[in-house]
Amino acid sequence: MIAPTLLALAGVLMQDSAALLRPDAVLGEDGHLHEGWQVAIRNGVIEAVGPDLKSLAGGKEFHLSGVLAPGFVDAWSWSGCDAAEESLRLSPNLLAADGIDKDSDSWKERLNAGITTVQLLPRPTNTLAGWAAVVTSSGPEVVSVRSRQVVSLLPKSVSDDRKGPLGLPGALEDLSTALPRVRGVSSSGAIALVEDAAGVDGFRAAGAGVPRAFIALGDPGSYGGILSGDLVALPVLGNSSWSPRRLEVWRRLHKGGARIAFGTGSESPEALRLAAMAFARVTGDPAAAFSSITSTAGLVAGRSDIGRINPGARADLVLWTAHPLDASSRIVGVMTGGRMTPASSK
């Protein structure tokens, strides 16, 4: 059942309104819990964060029992989206937003896992696969129709001789010519799926000057050293992919300066939090671990207003019984865009 305070909060925030939330603690971007902090929300956007905030004009105050944290951000996923172009090698105008399956169970599963926002990708069947979209788990509601242009340099895709080009050299030739011509890519940027060093280097050269992020697949341990300083989205670990070596690769990528985020791909939404918990243990850096499924994941999607509790950010918040990376912590309530969601009833 939803706590009475949350029911009242839901009623207020169903309209364009203001509220001052007073939880037991707020999880800051430094990864620490701040007791006595409050969060002021107006019209679905965070207006202020910190101690001793004054009540908003025309708003109400709510005392919440638990830890208020930014909602999780899934840096990349295909679940709940069926967008692909199989017959071409360049399909830059394809929109993942057009392939959203609103009836998919994945939306409820995301909310129940504390994921408030996800970047949906078209399938990486083409060198230019189309535009990714940033979507809220509640609704779902499209926040960004064109978040990143998706570039696929996966060997399996670029070696498909039914479409050409033949191998990575042909794909990079296509990319260097076509990517700069994609409308909006100079500001929104591109996200490249890679499996080797040649793909990383090739994308950097072909997409020079374009804001970028990588989805590092295959064995990042064999090429991750060249990703220092980059935004790097890694796949979460499935039931069959947990291994000491994989965790050691994560640690070394982090130590080498890569800014790590996680995406579920086609795995369960619950795996996102588990990946961050494992990342915190192996790196000893809980702040980086939490940002890997919040603010850094938002940056991978080209957004600085999701996955954080900052003035100007979307009010996508989750109330937990303890720190979200504490294995014993449970969700009390979920808010997206300043509105309580059905996941709060579990």
Could you say which of 1.20.1250.20, 2.40.170.20, 3.90.1170.50, 2.30.40.10 is the CATH number of the domain covering 4-70+308-345? 2.30.40.10
Instruction: Return the higher-pLDDT residue of 84 and 82.
Output: 82
Q: Which residue pairs, CB below 8 angstroms and at least 24 apart, start in 279-284?
A: 279/250, 279/254, 280/325, 282/247, 282/248, 282/250, 282/251, 283/250, 283/251, 283/254, 283/255
Interval 215-247: pLDDT, tens = 999 999 999 999 999 999 999 998 777 889 999
Amino acid at 3: A
Percentage of residues in the chain having pLDDT higher than 70: 92
User: What is the rounded CA–CA span in Å between residue 329 and residue 323?
Assistant: 6
What kind of architecture, by CATH, is found in domain 72-300?
A: Alpha-Beta Barrel (3.20)
pTM above 0.85, yes or no: yes
Q: Phi-psi region for residue 190, left (φ > 0), alpha (ψ -120 to 50) or beta?
A: beta
Domain ranges of the chain: 4-70+308-345, 72-300
Q: Do domains 4-70+308-345 and 72-300 have the same CATH topology?
A: no
Q: How does residue 42 score in pLDDT terms, banded at 50, 70 and 90?
A: very high
Given a cut of 60, whether residue 186 has pLDDT beyond it is yes
Q: Token pair of 111, please?
A: 């909310």
Given a cut of 90, whether residue 11 has pLDDT beyond it is no
Q: Among 48-57, 142-151, 185-194, which is the least confidently predicted range? A: 48-57
User: How far from 176 is each of 34, 69, 205, 268, CA to CA, in Å?
Assistant: 47, 41, 8, 35
Please state the length of the chain.
Answer: 346
Q: How does residue 346 score in pLDDT terms, banded at 50, 70 and 90?
A: very low
Contact assessment for residue 316 and residue 277, using Cβ atoms and an 8 Å cutoff = no
User: What is the rounded CA–CA span in Å between residue 165 and residue 105?
Assistant: 37
User: What is the rounded CA–CA span in Å between residue 340 and residue 10?
Assistant: 5
